[in-house]
Amino acid sequence: MSYEEKRVSVWRCLAVAGIFLCLILGMRIQSQAAGNVRIESCKISSSNHGKVEVKASGPAMIAGTDRKYYLVALFPYEKQMSKKSIVAGSKAQKSLVTYSVNLNLKSRSSILYRKFAIAVKKNNKYQIVSNFQYITNPECLASVRKAFPKAASKKGLHIKPTMISDAEDLGIKHAAVNICLDTFIATSGQKNSSSAYPYTYQGRQYWFLKSGCNEVDRQTRELARSNVIVSGILLLRQYGGGKVLVPPNARNTGKNYYGINTMDQEGLETLEALMHFLGDRYMNSNGKYGTIVNWIVGNEVNNYNDYNYLGKLSFNEYIDAYTRSFRVVSMALRSVYSKARVYISLDHLWNILQPHGKCYTSKSTLDAFAKRLKQEGDINWNLAFHPYPSPLTDPNFWNDNVTNSDSTKQVTMKNLSYLTNYVSTHFRRDVRILLSEQGFTSVSYGTTNETLQAAAWAYAYYITEFNDKVDAFIMNRHVDHKQETSQGLYLGVWTNKKGNLEYADKKKQIWNVFKYIDSAGSQKVSQFALKSIGIKSWSSVIPGFNWKKFSSMGSYTSGKGTVFKTVTKPKNITNSVKNGYNATVKKSGRKTTVKVHTSINPNLYVGADWRFSSKLNFTSRKYFTCKLNITGMKEKYAHVRIRFFHGNSVYESSAKVKGGGTRAVSVNLSKWAYRGSVNKIQIWVRPYSKTRWKNGSKIVITEMKQAATAK
């Protein structure tokens, strides 16, 4: 090689080394900036709710930039700046910068749901050099700020929508209601006032279907009247206009349920508007449509293939996508009601997978979800867990092969305390837990054993009542379902009528236990279970167990109604009818007409209730009297139940009353301790032998009175 060739070679090497060194230095500068510039907080101003305050720290100067730090706001699905990104503010570079920028809440330029970052400008291009952060206090915007409701007990049920009267008879304090988001999204042909409600949000108009609202309303309105705390389970199918909420790469795949689309602007903004609409309707309407305070985002989301399909994603991509949708739901709801609770839903497979394998473990999903939320702006979150027994076909959970350790394969009711301790020690202190779905079969290994089912439920319920981390124990399900019984699972408190999908036929033993378990009669109704479980007392297996807890939960007293002819000292009761059960109720003066929905199952009661703002006193006038005219039955007699309420204490009377004419019925309340303060009366009727009602059936109720005597 010649001298010139050597010299060129040397210079080439130096040039390459120089370029390499510049790249290294450039990457180091970028790395230092990305690692050292950090958004510390991102909050709506407490003194001015129209402003967002962002605090960040970083190097006093980053070489090669225009010496400014830019606050940028991206769509949640964006990773880099785009034409849709917003430059919200700029500050001269220094070690600590604070921004105060306009929230622009009701406009298309709103930044409420955006994720924020700090960027620098190099060569006239923006480069993100910080972490991402979201607004963490949307509750500042909430118009509803009342305390979170408290329930008398933790007893709950996944109700069958047509069986509200039975759910109330069971005295439930919590209920879970499925809310299919697809049922609210209008297609282009449904965007009119006859089919949908117009709703303007963030400067854009949406249309949400009345039929979807009605489906939820008919459950939540009636549950609200009984002070039941409702948990709404947000589900998504691929029907009608709901396709916009399905992630683009998950469409047309035929899954049971889908995760929610936050992967493009259309899906994201539709979700924001829909959740704010639902929040307005069910938390900000003074109970007009009922009330939902717990919101569960998806069902068993660790089982991504069956219940929360988001397309083919890696684990980290899946956690990112689910966490985005969770944050949007939380942001929308907590900006309506400051105390709204939002939950992630997980199954009981803590460290193992479903047999098909297309899922993640609950533990890994929970850990990654909580970590991602904390990284991008820590917000309140809660856990909806499903501690079914192992296997599901055996209710005997106290023999489950589980442990109180991080390596346990499953979490069932046997080791529930492990789960609550894990959540308490690993995550935010304010995380609450709902047991939002679990049940016990009454048929196991081909043998019917209703006693074992009832015993398992009683034991599990008591475990829950004495675990302070858990707010509710919501049982699945109301009636045995054909799809589940075909798999050996008979989970209902009612049997299913043969040949039907889900038709209440007969009450199981658990029905009676379920009703009285959270009352002063709890000890008596659960006594049988000790022998089935093989224990001497509940206190021997449940820390802190004490019967005194149930004495304050209310009571049930039974009585009889009788036919009478004359009364003394009658006093009219105001016709303040409020609600119909499986019927349409019409008021005319002192007469109430109950038109029976003839499609109703004759095993269930129809009727009405009356609510009194000024409580009724039956101390001196100890009799309740009324006249009933029951027509349209295929049999002569009706079974009539008249119920009186003082808070959670109930007096229940029953009578066999002949139909086809007007009958005068009375109830003697003299032996009921709470007769001096009655705030609600119910009159329920069903055919005595449970034959179907005829078309045109009705119950006419007149002359409701208090009386000194009735003979």
Q: What is the pLDDT of residues 123-161, one digit of tens each?
A: 999 999 999 999 999 999 999 999 999 999 999 999 999
Which of 12-16, 79-83, 329-333, 370-374 has the lowest average pLDDT?
Answer: 12-16
Taking the C-alpha atoms of residue 70 and residue 117, their distance in angstroms, rounded to an integer, is 8
Q: At 709, phi and psi to the nearest 5?
A: -140, 160
Q: What is the pLDDT of residue 20?
A: 42
Q: Which domains does the chain have, with CATH numbers?
A: 33-137 (2.60.40), 158-347 (3.20.20.80), 556-710 (2.60.120.430)
**Burial grade of 418 (CB within 10 A; 0-12, 13-18, 19 or more):** middle
Name the token pair of 402.
Answer: 């589980």
With bands split at pLDDT 50, 70 and 90, how would you rate the model's confidence at 30? Answer: very low
> Is it the case that residue 2 has pLDDT exceeding 70?
no
pLDDT at 356: 87
**Residue 218: enclosing H or E segment and its boundaries?**
helix 210-225
pTM value surpassing 0.85? yes
User: What is each CA distance from 242 to 81, 208, 266, in whole angstroms?
Assistant: 29, 11, 12
Question: In which element (H, E) is residue 416 found?
Answer: helix 416-426
Amino acid 260: pLDDT: 98
Structure confidence by residue, pLDDT tens digits, 315-339: 999 999 999 999 999 999 999 999 9
R_g of the chain, CA atoms, integer Å: 31
Judged against a pLDDT cut of 50, whether residue 200 lies above it is answered with yes
Question: Is the confidence at residue 4, as pLDDT, over 90?
Answer: no
pLDDT band per the 50, 70, 90 thresholds, residue 401: very high
The answer to whether the CB of 525 falls within 8 A of the CB of 446 is no
Q: Is the pLDDT of residue 262 over 70?
A: yes
Q: Which pair of tokens denotes residue 442?
A: 């009454």
> Helix/strand/coil (H, E, C) string of 117-147?
EEEEEECCEEEECECCEECCCHHHHCCECCC
Task: Quote the strand ranges of 34-159, DSSP E.
Answer: 38-44, 51-57, 68-74, 86-92, 96-102, 115-122, 125-128, 133-134, 155-158
Torsion angle of the four alpha carbons 72, 77, 81, 83, in this order, in degrees rounded to the nearest 10: -100
What pLDDT, on a 0 to 100 scale, did the predictor assign at position 21?
Answer: 40
Q: What is the pLDDT of residue 33?
A: 41
Tell me: pLDDT of 697 over 80: yes
- Mapped onto helix, strand or coil, the DSSP state of residue 254 is coil
Can you tell me whether residue 654 is helix, strand or coil? strand
Q: How far is the CA of 85 from the CAs of 39, 53, 264, 644, in angstroms?
A: 18, 18, 13, 61
Mean pLDDT of the chain: 94
Q: Which phi-psi region, left, alpha or beta, contains residue 683 (left: φ > 0; alpha: ψ -120 to 50)?
A: beta
pLDDT tens digit string along 211-227? Answer: 999 999 999 998 998 89
pLDDT recorded at residue 357: 87
Residue the block writes with tokens 């007893």 = 155
Q: Are 459 and 465 in contact (CB under 8 A)?
A: no
